[in-house]
Amino acid sequence: MGKMIEIRWHGRGGQGAKTASLLLAEALFNTGKYIQGFPEYGPERSGAPLTAYNRISDEPIRVHSNIYEPDYVVVVDETLLAAVDVTAGLKETGGIVINTPKSPEEIRHYLKDYKGKVGTVDAKKISEEELGRYFPNVPMLGAIMAMTGLVEKEQFIKSMEESFHHKFATKPEVIDGNMRALKRSMEEVIIS
Amino acid sequence: MLRQIDPDVVAAFPITPSTEVPQYFSQFVANGQVRTEFVAVESEHSAMSACIGAEAAGARTMTATSSQGLALMWEMLYIAASMRLPIVMTTVNRALSAPINIHNDHSDAMGARDSGWVQIYNENNQEAYDSLIMAIRVAEHADVQLPVMICYDGFITSHSVENIMLLEDDLVKSFVGEYKPQYSLLDKEHPVSMGMFDLPAFYFEHKRQQAEAIKNAKQVLIDVQNEFAKISGRQYGLFEEYKLDDADIAIVIANSTAGTAKDTVDMLREQGVKAGLLKIRLFRPFPADEIVKALSHVKAVAVMDKAEGFSAAGGPIFVDVRSAMYGKADGIKVINYIYGLGGRDVGVYDVKRVYDHLQTIADSGQIDNLYNYLGIRE
Amino acid sequence: MSEIKKIEEVNEDISWRDITPGGIAPWAGGAEAFTTGDWRTMRPVLIEDKCTGCLLCWPTCPDTSIMPTDDGKIKYDYDHCKGCGICVETDRS
């Protein structure tokens, strides 16, 4: 139980935060971890704030509640910082990664001076350049993996590629762009 | 799992959160991965009616539903059981309206607990998968011939991605075997009539026989579970005992929150509290004697219901457990907690509050409050 | 449960152990065992001279109690005829 890592995702309906949490679960499952990936279902409305969760462990996971004291938080949409208490319960031994063009120094102010690691990445820019559309979830997945280092980088990338081939079996043309977006954000995320 | 079982007929109507079951299954049908006849119907009442017709015609038949869908099936649930048709249904548990709520509690399945269906509750995806495969064997067994409902939590279990060990297709196929009904409407060599009118001179005998059949389901489930353990390495019981052997205080609980509560038990054990847990699996028939025996040494028990029975005398699992203990375990203090209605989240520390309450009862020997609501705003 | 060979065994002395599951009737033509002719208050009588053997009455009988005979006419199964009179209404001659 002690080794369990908990991640909370904050996004808006339609941005793929739920999909990202499920992709993360699948990718880490492929690396042999015990995983959970689940959203907090509510009224499913495009643009409304939503929360999704991941648990990752080396032992079987039995707990089936929401996550109140996450090790890490991912904020898929910067505007949520004004609407949601994203650092609620967040452990100071962990970190938070945010989709924003700002630097960690600039953003920390909006996080009630959270003491743990703060990471920022411009997922909007990466997504628009690599995919031609705004899907911030995959770049954010790359960023959180870069911050947590839960699995070795090459192994994660390989596992994600497998997941994409499975998920996008009917539209393989989007796989390359997503892989580029994933790798770029793993490089470009700034953590301090 | 439905793909591996490859039933002859699936008739279903989509309802959240069980929608994905017929949705994905109809893709398997469209892709030719199963030989099943998929019947798209216009309501759950029709879904169960079609299942009854198909099963009576000798087809291995399965379906899935939730909440209002199960409620709409009500009339036909009783007919499926009374006609002794071994339909297998996944019930993805969801609260009942009103007010409208799509989230998890056990109001739907608990309302159907006396319909004559065998009911098995499941903690996680793995258990639900395993139980569904075993359910075919239990339902179709000559001593049972009754429909079986496999219950698991909506969203928490149904929409969560977690690790699961699947069995090989061939292994599942040979485990469930071929369906050979004793009677079938399509057997032209042995024509039969079903759904007869029954006068007072016979109806009572038919009900008594049906009661015997569901009683038999207990031993059949034990046998099937033992056989399943040999092919899967996973051994199930009528219920699961977690650190119950030497427990002073214990809770009785069904489905996914049992997993959360196991973490609570571990936390309390580290603090030196002798906490234990009994997880309900087979709820209909109710293994009363076995449960009483398993709880016989504890000082205080909290039975947790994720459904309000509206009896003003406790939730459905509580009523059964307490009644089973009467005269056999009278010294034990038993209380009831209603929790998690309409998807109210229950975490490790919420369950701890129940154990804390039990500890005060065990210490004082007095029950201060019999019926309790976990985390309700007073 | 012992296997029931014929419908006559399902009577008001049968125990719950032996009764058929779910009220199934695992025999075809079980109605033959019940002499519903007992219920009759009026009985049809064939007037041999007038019957033309047209058999228009035959499909209208709700109890299949009209049986064509080799001489091209009919006879009644009085064990099962309830005396409803439909055949009389149908008769043209």
* CATH code where residue C39 lies: 3.30.70
DSSP for chain A, please give it: -TT-EEEEEEEETTS-HHHHHHHHHHHHHHTT-EEEEEE---S--TTSEEEEEEEEESS-----S--SS-SEEEES-TTHHHHS-TTTT--TTSEEEEE-SS-HHHHHGGGTT--SEEEEE-HHHHHHHHHSS--THHHHHHHHHHHH--S-HHHHHHHHHHHHHHHTTT-GGGHHHHHHHHHHHHHH-EE-
For residue B194, give the nearest of C10, C14, C24 by CB distance.
C24
User: Does C50 lie in the same domain as C19?
Assistant: no
More confident residue, A192 or B87: B87
**CATH 3.40.50.920 domain span(s) along chain B:** 239-373
Q: Answer yes or no: is pLDDT of B292 > 60.
A: yes
**Element containing residue B129 per DSSP (H, E):** helix B125-140
**Element containing residue B131 per DSSP (H, E):** helix B125-140
Nearest-Å Rg of the Cα atoms of chain C is 18
Per-position b or e across C56-86, b if 16+ CB within 10 A of its CB: ebbeebebebbeeeeeeebebeeebbbbbeb
Q: Hey, which bits of C1-93 come out as E strands? A: 66-68, 74-76
Give residue A1's pLDDT. Answer: 42
Q: Which of B26-30, B205-209, B218-222, B302-306 is least confident? A: B26-30
CB A126 within 8 A of CB A76: no
Per-position b or e across B8-47, b if 16+ CB within 10 A of its CB: bbbbbbbbbbbbebbeebbebbeeeebebebbebeebbbb
User: Does C27 lie in the same domain as C1?
Assistant: yes
Residues of chain A positioned with their CB less than 8 A from the CB of B347: 63, 65-66, 68
The set of residues, in sequence order, having a beta carbon less than 8 Å from that of C33 and lying 6+ positions away, is C6, C7, C8
Total tally of structural domains belonging to chain C: 2
Domain range annotation of chain A: 5-191
Inter-chain CB proximity B212 and C27 less than 8 Å = no
The fraction of chain C above a pLDDT of 70, given in percent, is: 95
Short-list B109, B145, B159, CA closest to B305: B109
Structure tokens of B153?
A: 């939590």
- Judged by DSSP in three states, B138 sits in helix
Give residue C31's pLDDT. Answer: 82
Cα B367 to chain centroid distance, Å, stands at 30
Per residue in B323-333, pLDDT tens?
999 999 999 99
Residue B279 to residues B97, B223, B257, B366: CA-CA distances in angstroms? Answer: 27, 19, 9, 25
Give residue B139's pLDDT. Answer: 98
Nearest-Å Rg of the Cα atoms of chain A is 15
Q: B239-373 has which fold?
A: Rossmann fold (3.40.50)
Work out the number of other CB atoms within 10 angstroms of the CB of residue B197. Answer: 7
Residues of chain C positioned with their CB less than 8 A from the CB of B208: 16
Per-residue pLDDT band for C6 (boundaries 50, 70, 90) equals: confident
Mean pLDDT value across residues B188-194: 91
Q: What is the mean pLDDT of chain B?
A: 96
User: Does C57 lie in the same domain as C92?
Assistant: yes
Inter-chain CB proximity B159 and A62 less than 8 Å = no
Select the CATH number that applies to the domain covering A5-191 from these four: 3.40.920.10, 3.30.230.10, 3.40.50.450, 3.40.50.150: 3.40.920.10
User: Does C51 lie in the same domain as C74?
Assistant: yes
Short-list A179, A167, A158, CA closest to B161: A167
CA distance B326 to B332: 10
For residue A64, give the nearest of B102, B163, B259 by CB distance.
B259
Short-list A44, A80, A69, A53, CA closest to B103: A44
Q: Name the DSSP letter for residue B17.
A: T
Identify from B20, B162, B344 which residue to disrupt to test chain A contact, counting A C-beta atoms within 10 A and taking the largest count.
Answer: B162
Query: Omega before B7 cis (within 30°)?
Result: no
Q: Are strands A117-121 and A95-99 parallel, antiparallel or unpaired?
A: parallel
For residue C16, give the nearest of B82, B193, B205 by CB distance.
B205
For the beta sheet containing B371-373, the strands, ordered from the edge strand earlier in sequence to the opposite edge, are: B239-242, B275-280, B249-254, B300-305, B333-338, B371-373
Structure tokens of B336?
A: 């009831």
- Judged by DSSP in three states, B255 sits in coil
Give residue B93's pLDDT. Answer: 98
Cβ-defined contacts of B164-167 (< 8 Å, 24+)? B164/B125, B164/B126, B164/B129, B165/B126, B165/B232, B165/B234, B166/B1, B166/B4, B166/B129, B167/B4, B167/B133, B167/B231, B167/B232
CA distance A9 to A24: 11
The set of residues, in sequence order, having a beta carbon less than 8 Å from that of B221 and lying 6+ positions away, is B118, B120, B134, B138, B238, B282
Identify from B161, B166, B260 which residue to disrupt to test chain A contact, counting A C-beta atoms within 10 A and taking the largest count.
Answer: B161
Residues of chain C positioned with their CB less than 8 A from the CB of B192: 24-28
- Please provide the CATH number assigned to the domain covering B2-232: 3.40.50.970
Measure B140 CA to nearest chain C CA, in Å. 13
User: Does C63 lie in the same domain as C43?
Assistant: yes
Inter-chain CB proximity A29 and B161 less than 8 Å = yes
Structure tokens of B241?
A: 């005992």
User: Does C17 lie in the same domain as C61?
Assistant: no
CA distance B371 to B335: 6
Query: Omega before B98 cis (within 30°)?
Result: yes
Mean pLDDT value across residues B253-269: 98
The set of residues, in sequence order, having a beta carbon less than 8 Å from that of B91 and lying 6+ positions away, is B18, B64, B65, B66, B70, B108, B109, B112, B149, B150, B151, B152
Q: Answer yes or no: is pLDDT of C32 > 90.
A: no
Per residue in B334-362, pLDDT tens?
999 999 999 999 999 999 999 999 999 99
Q: Answer yes or no: is pLDDT of C2 > 60.
A: no
Say what the ipTM of the complex is.
0.90
Q: Which of A81-85, B84-88, B208-212, C23-27 is least confident? A: C23-27
Is the whole-model pTM more than 0.90? yes
Q: Are strands B37-40 and B61-65 parallel, antiparallel or unpaired?
A: unpaired
User: Does C89 lie in the same domain as C64?
Assistant: yes
Mean pLDDT value across residues C44-70: 94
Mean pLDDT value across residues B310-317: 96
Structure tokens of B225?
A: 């579970």
Give residue C3's pLDDT. Answer: 67
Give the residues of chain A that fall short of pLDDT 50.
Answer: 1
Q: Name the DSSP letter for residue C68.
A: E
Mean pLDDT value across residues B17-40: 93
User: Does C50 lie in the same domain as C90?
Assistant: yes
> B271 touching C, CB under 8 A?
no
Range of the domain at C23: 1-34
Residues of chain A positioned with their CB less than 8 A from the CB of B123: 62
